[in-house]
Amino acid sequence: MLTALAAVVILLVVVRLRYSGTAPMRLAAQNCNGDLWKHVGSPERLRLIEACTAVEGKVVSVYRASDGDLHISLDPDHTSALNFMNALHAGGYLVVEVICEHTPADDDAKSACAGFVSKVTIPKTGDRIRVIGAYVTDRENGWNEVHPVTRIETLN
């Protein structure tokens, strides 16, 4: 019994170290556009970890959600950006959300995006990018995200 308990504790420590859920880089707040929060649908579901960060990695997929946001799955250079829920439910990727990238189908999202269209450069699958934006935990899913994204720079 004691051996099983010790194994569980060791496993939890290893998971916590591997998926610490910390921003790889802290940037000064003026590097991010704080006005974007006015256009985030249901912002109360996001727990702010870092007001402005930069994360680099490879784009694994790009998906247009019904809420008007563009979802990017990013394989980050530093796994410290991931938490356990990223590993478990987001395929081991960091979720990146460009808000109001297209016209939303959801009525709630339409009001959040009213009068605003994102000017963020959209990457392609396979691109190496640097994402700059707020680093948050999505309370509904439990995973970490960069949301909202201020800008994306293509590195390759």
* CA dist 10 → 7, 15, 81, 121 (Å): 5, 9, 21, 42
More confident residue, 130 or 10: 130
Residue 20 burial (CB count, 10 A): 15
What range defines the domain where residue 104 resides?
Answer: 2-154
- According to the model, what pLDDT value does residue 136 have? 96
- According to the model, what pLDDT value does residue 33 have? 96
pLDDT at 14 exceeding the cut of 70: no
Where residue 56 sits, what CATH number does that domain have? 2.40.50.140
pTM of the predicted protein model: 0.86
For a pLDDT cut of 90, what percent of the chain falls above it? 67
pLDDT at 19 exceeding the cut of 80: no
Distance of CA 63 to the CA centre of its chain: 13
Please say whether the beta carbons of 138 and 148 come within 8 A: no
- According to the model, what pLDDT value does residue 90 have? 87
Task: Count structural domains, the chain.
Answer: 1
Residue 23, classified by CB atoms within 10 Å of its CB into exposed (0-12), middle (13-18) or buried (19+), is buried
- According to the model, what pLDDT value does residue 24 have? 79
- According to the model, what pLDDT value does residue 84 have? 86
Report which of 149, 12, 153, 140 is spatially closest to residue 69, judged by C-alpha positions: 149
